Structure 1
């Protein structure tokens, strides 16, 4: 995994950890279930996006740039962007 990607991934994980810590505090404070569920949904979305980043980085690492034409590289980049956005 490239260093810039690893750094972005760590930042996302830290942010997600912060969200989880906030949810723990909400539970301790006796907050409303709906508020807790809203935050849990945000964490789930964050984890899914992190998974998309990892999958996209893995695919990029498996394919050499010289194996694809420029048009194929552009299509692959678009597809990987969709994976990250939708997971």
Structure 2
């Protein structure tokens, strides 16, 4: 799978969020504010995982269909990846 600039940009934004969280901790910001930002970073990671799995699934199913093969195993593998990421 090719990782597009969009996916890489998502991770760079998340990286920036994490750096901001560390800065908040160093500045001894309120716990609730730190937790709020941690939750936002986790949500961004979860969405990125889902996006990557969806793109991979789409690509694999298309390849299976082009070969005239059953794609149910590919779909099951994608589901397992999503479950594992939780």
TM superposition score normalised by structure 1:
0.69
**Structure 2 residue aligned with 1:25:** 23
Moved over 6 A (4+): none
Matched, 1:39 2:20: no
Q: Which runs of 5+ in 1 are unaligned?
A: 69-82
Equivalent residue for 1:61, pick from 52, 59, 62: 59
Q: 1 or 2 for the larger relative contact order (CA 8 Å, sep ≥6)?
A: 1
How far apart, CA to CA, are the structure 2 residues paired with 1:67 and 1:42? 37
Q: Which runs of 5+ in 2 are unaligned?
A: 67-81
**Structure 1 residue aligned with 2:14:** 16
**Structure 1 residue aligned with 2:77:** none
- Check 1:66–1:59 CA distance in 2 against 1; reply closer, same or farther (3 A cut): closer
TM superposition score normalised by structure 2:
0.70
How far apart, CA to CA, are the structure 2 residues paired with 1:56 and 1:39? 26
Q: CA deviation at 1:61?
A: 1.4
What is the RMSD computed on CA atoms of the aligned residues?
2.3
